[in-house]
Amino acid sequence: MKTKFPLLIFSVLFGTAQLFAQDQFTLAKEGQMAPDFTYETSDGTRHKLSELKGKVVWITFFATWCGPCRKELPHLQKDVYEKFGTRDDFELLVFGREHSKEELAKFKADKNFNLPFYPDAKRKIFDQFARQNIPRNFIIDKEGKIAISSVGFNEDKFRQHIQKMEALLTK
């Protein structure tokens, strides 16, 4: 019992510190309206997030050098994009934080991804949502409110996010 108590204390403190760190660096919080922003597609067309109202939107911020991001992206492709990407009421936006269009095209080809990657070279979009830490996922409901905000990658949490997104799609 004596050895379990310090472990329990450590676990509680570590978990609390992680939640505080996440909240401290998260600017766009669950329940709030998602910040509106403009993004550019590979063909140069510009769009605004607000144009997607009426759809559930999954936004991911990643970097090509980020280990947890590299673990998450195959799940994002297989479990989200390939299953929901053709729906009229769903949109996936995957932003390469501090990456150019050319860097993302090379990464996409090298890793055989078919995800819709968009550059956020100067962090203009990311900086509206958070200060630091990736991968980050934000799921926006059909009214434009943030339903899920998460940091890091955990397979169990990721599956929970998909379940929540499916529930949002049925509303």
| Domain extents in the chain | 28-170
Residue-wise DSSP of 127-164: HHHBSS-SSEEEEE-TTSBEEEEEES--HHHHHHHHHH
Hunting for tokens 């949002």 — which residue is that?
A: 168
What superfamily in CATH does domain 28-170 come from? Glutaredoxin (3.40.30.10)
Asked if the model's pLDDT at residue 137 lies above 70, the reply is: yes
Tally of residues, the chain: 171
For 8-25, give one letter per residue: b (16+ CB within 10 A) or e: eeeeeeeeeeeeeebeee
At position 30, the amino acid (one-letter code) is E
Report the DSSP pairing between strands 136-140 and 146-151. antiparallel
Q: Give the pLDDT confidence score for residue 29 in this predicted structure.
A: 74
Q: Pairing state of beta strands 90-97 and 117-120? A: parallel
Encode pLDDT of 62-93 as tens digits.
Answer: 999 999 999 999 999 999 999 999 999 999 99
Q: Quick check: 89 and 55 in contact, CB under 8 A?
A: yes
For residues 139-148, average pLDDT: 96
The lowest-confidence range among 21-30, 100-109, 117-126, 151-160 is 21-30
